[in-house]
Structure 1
Amino acid sequence: MAVKVKLPNGKDEPHMLDSVALLEDLPEHGLVHGQVGTIVEALEGAYEVEFADTQGRAYAEVALRKQQFLVLRHEPIQAA
């Protein structure tokens, strides 16, 4: 059963610069489940996510549907 959370300031949709984790392998882009990226653009029905190494060098940029990633939260969030 999924837990509904109440996010600070009503932020329940992904936003620019949110950190996300990939929920599926995308071998055509050299990406695997769990890799972390950053939303760099909101598209019609998708989000452009950039994946970069620890030096900040981008190695992939892919348009993903919301179901393909999990937004990572760094602040405490209370369950609704």
Structure 2
Amino acid sequence: MNRFRQFIEWQAFGVCTAIGERLGIATSRIRTWFIYVSFLTMGSPLIIYFIVAFWMNIKRYIWSLRRNPLKYQ
């Protein structure tokens, strides 16, 4: 179960974890507040969440190209 949770947190998106590490706030607290805000605003923060997740994946892809440019040619 722990392995599945790590996959979801890091491989799927990891937005709350990345924000928590950057700001020095517990990830569980960020997730809790995200859920509260999502319920209060009827889900509109989900759009921002998916935009940040997309940006993180693009950034990870660009960094992988910089580390090994011959791998993707």
Q: Which is richer in strand?
A: 1
Q: Which one has more relative contact order, counting CA pairs under 8 Å at least 6 apart?
A: 1
Q: Which is richer in helix?
A: 2
Compute the TM-score of the two structures, normalised by the length of structure 1.
0.23
Compute the TM-score of the two structures, normalised by the length of structure 2.
0.24
